[in-house]
Chain A
Amino acid sequence: GAVVSQHPSRVICKSGTSVKIECRSLDFQATTMFWYRQFPKQSLMLMATSNEGSKATYEQGVEKDKFLINHASLTLSTLTVTSAHPEDSSFYICSARDDLGVFDTQYFGPGTRLTVL
């Protein structure tokens, strides 16, 4: 089946630093990837849609200068949380849509747990 990896799985950083999270589709091409954030006991919230070779589309209320997204190839998207603060601590999950899949199924990565001290 389709596999999506994320790295790192867990990161702890100091307030003010930047953190980069990678999302890779391992056995399929993904022109479109998505970045979600999930706080404890809450549902997934879409942050942005990442399109290969073009600018990401951010959801309302998500700061594009704080959450930098780069989708330079058909198998890799990165999310950089710049100048992270404790309120950015969350579970960040990416998903990738299989370009050749039936009905645009999305597959999720295992997630990255970010803790900002």
Chain B
Amino acid sequence: QKEVEQNSGPLSVPEGAIASLNCTYSDRVSQSFFWYRQYSGKSPELIMSIYSNGDKEDGRFTAQLNKASQYVSLLIRDSQPSDSATYLCAVKGGTGTASKLTFGTGTRLQVTL
């Protein structure tokens, strides 16, 4: 079982719709969760971080965390063509200087006109 799992997609949504991206993780003691956006040929860009169960909203983005189900999701409201990218879920394991991020393989999102 992979440590962080994502559906590779592509996930295709029409412009203006809500895109829902999902991620599950295997390490129960993970405490920090991140969503990164990566455009083709570019490095990842941090979009959201979440640490507590529930929802966290930032503009058009909402991250949802359910530690009991080991599940984290990202909702993108009013999707725009510029949102088309690969979205990487990352989970932080370990403590102190030994902590590091484990990435999922990413979900490719396509927002169509």
Contact = CB atoms under 8 A, between A and B. Distances in A.
Interface of A: 31-32, 34, 42-44, 46, 49, 51, 57, 91, 93, 95, 103-111
B46 A107 contact: yes
B34 interface: yes
Interface of B: 31-32, 34, 36, 41-46, 49, 51, 88, 92, 97-101, 103-106
Given A104-B32, A105-B34, A46 B100 contact: yes
B43 A108 contact: yes
Given A34-B100, A103-B49, A104-B32, A43 B106 contact: yes
A108 B45 CA distance: 7
Given A43-B88, A43-B105, A43-B106, A104 B99 contact: yes
B45 A105 contact: no
A96 to B, nearest CB: 12
Residue from B34, B46, B100, B103 having most chain A Cβ neighbours under 10 A: B100
A111 B45 CA distance: 12
Given A49-B98, A108-B36, 8 more contacts: A31-B97, A43-B103, A43-B106, A49-B100, A57-B98, A103-B32, A103-B51, A111-B43
Contact of B97 (A51, A95, A111): A51
